[in-house]
């Protein structure tokens, strides 16, 4: 009896040992769960992130960190409950190594905690909610784009420096919209005559535009990503407001997706970004040229973020030599950022958000007569977000 028991225990131990060993061994492929908004008014953003990510994987010959990459792309329909189900499937069924792609902060906040609890690394190629930068910062969350407030802070500083005195702010009523207003006001100290919150996904701005007209501001700052911004600018011009009021926006509302849909009324609009397609560095030139060749359009900042997210994963997987289950080593490799970004250099802060430069861009015509963004100058150098102090992570 006793020897049998011993044997059984030994066998169990051995089996356990092998399974532990198997888990530590290097992997033969990398699985990425790409969850993004690919339909509805926010679809343009998700599609650009996806295309940027896919382009990077293609340039790397279908591999990430030298291992064959499998990218599972699913649409979240801009609905938190749909996103939660997909994330669940990614973790339980597909057992993905990384997740990325989410555009909207409310969806990010709905999905985040279960993913972190599952010890799956989430590489955000867009959503940068203040919560995850501050108190709820997490070892498994990395943001390769920006913290939500940052681009708005840059516009706020520029509007302040240019001496505008009376500003109206417009943003959707969701966490990203609130971050936008807070960010703008952190550096703009003049008068804000009204803060207008709209429904997320709203497309008709007649009531808001009438309100703006009656307030007579000298500048309007709006943060309305995707289709919302397209409609806002079109209706703003149609209402005849553009003659006395200067429009300002973060780069989200003045990038290629919006310019393509609105056209000439966008000329002369100032906006902020951490990246621009005319930046002079080898990585960016290759990215912009290849993107145009592959998709026949100029990349937007979203595409650049998706592209960088793929290269961040690539560098980290290569650094740990495919041992993806050594979470500690993988986290260190991600923090060390083993790749060159198309935006030039940046580094991760201790809350895993970037410390980087922010630039001012203006929409004009380029040498070929296309309407597009041109970089004007630097607003912030090595700018960190305002929440890192609340992050307890080392």
Chain residues binding another protein by CB under 8 A are 38-41, 43-44, 47, 75, 173, 194-199, 203-204, 206-208, 210-211, 213-214, 227, 230-231, 235, 237-241, 261
Structure tokens at 306: 């998706």
Nearer to another protein, 49 or 391 (CB): 49
Structure tokens at 274: 């951490």
Give the E-state strand segments of 154-256 in sequence order.
Answer: 166-172, 191-198, 219-222, 246-250
Write down the least CB distance from residue 48 to another protein, Å.
11
Nearer to another protein, 112 or 227 (CB): 227
How buried is residue 65: exposed, middle or buried, by Cβ count under 10 Å (0-12/13-18/19+)?
Answer: buried
Nearer to another protein, 87 or 170 (CB): 170
Nearer to another protein, 137 or 169 (CB): 169
Nearer to another protein, 355 or 386 (CB): 386
Write down the least CB distance from residue 254 to another protein, Å.
18
Structure tokens at 99: 């997740």
Structure tokens at 107: 């969806």
Structure tokens at 109: 């906040």
Whose CA is closest to 309, among 9, 44, 16, 50?
50
Structure tokens at 210: 């009438």
Decide: 100 and 123 in contact? Cβ < 8 Å: yes
Nearer to another protein, 26 or 235 (CB): 235
Nearer to another protein, 148 or 272 (CB): 148
Write down the least CB distance from residue 169 to another protein, Å.
10
Q: Measured on CA atoms in the order 254, 258, 260, 261, is the torsion positive or negative?
A: negative
Give the E-state strand segments of 276-353 in sequence order.
Answer: 347-348
Write down the least CB distance from residue 208 to another protein, Å.
7
Write down the least CB distance from residue 209 to another protein, Å.
9
Write down the least CB distance from residue 390 to another protein, Å.
19
Write down the least CB distance from residue 199 to another protein, Å.
6
Decide: 28 and 68 in contact? Cβ < 8 Å: yes
The 3-state DSSP class for residue 9 equals helix
């Amino acid at each position: 009896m006793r020897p049998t028991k011993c044997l059984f225990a030994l066998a169990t131990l051995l089996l356990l040992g092998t399974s532990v060993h198997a888990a530590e061994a290097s992997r033969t492929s990398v699985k990425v769960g790409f969850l993004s908004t690919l339909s509805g008014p926010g679809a343009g953003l998700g599609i650009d992130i996806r295309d940027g990510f896919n382009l990077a994987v293609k340039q790397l010959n279908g591999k990430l960190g030298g291992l064959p990459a499998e990218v599972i792309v699913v649409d979240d329909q801009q609905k938190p409950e749909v996103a939660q189900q997909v994330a669940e499937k990614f973790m339980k069924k597909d057992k993905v190594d990384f997740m990325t792609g989410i555009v909207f902060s409310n969806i990010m906040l709905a999905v985040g905690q279960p993913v972190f609890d599952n010890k799956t690394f989430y590489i955000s190629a867009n959503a940068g909610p203040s919560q995850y930068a501050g108190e709820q910062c997490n070892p498994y969350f990395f943001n390769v784009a920006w913290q939500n407030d940052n681009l708005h802070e840059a516009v706020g500083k520029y509007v302040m420096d240019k001496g505008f005195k009376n500003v109206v702010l417009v943003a959707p009523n969701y966490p990203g919209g609130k971050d936008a207003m807070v960010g703008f006001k952190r550096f703009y100290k003049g008068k804000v005559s009204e803060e207008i919150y709209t429904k997320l996904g709203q497309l008709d701005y007649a009531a808001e535009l009438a309100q703006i007209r009656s307030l007579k501001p000298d500048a309007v700052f709006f943060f309305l990503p995707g289709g919302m911004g397209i409609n806002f600018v079109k209706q703003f011009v149609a209402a005849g407001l553009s003659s006395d009021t200067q429009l300002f926006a973060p780069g989200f509302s003045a990038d290629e997706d919006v310019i393509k849909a609105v056209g000439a009324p966008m000329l002369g609009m100032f906006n902020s970004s951490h990246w621009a397609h005319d930046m002079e560095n080898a990585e960016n030139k290759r990215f912009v040229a290849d993107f145009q060749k592959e998709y026949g359009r100029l990349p937007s900042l979203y595409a650049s973020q998706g592209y960088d997210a793929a290269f961040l994963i690539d560098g980290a997987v290569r650094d740990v030599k495919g041992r993806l289950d050594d979470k500690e080593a993988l986290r260190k490799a991600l923090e060390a950022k083993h790749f060159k970004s198309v935006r030039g250099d940046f580094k991760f802060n201790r809350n895993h958000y970037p410390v980087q430069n922010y630039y001012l861009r203006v929409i004009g015509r380029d040498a070929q007569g296309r309407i597009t963004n041109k970089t004007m100058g630097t607003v912030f150098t090595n700018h960190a977000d305002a929440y890192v102090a609340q992050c307890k992570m080392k």
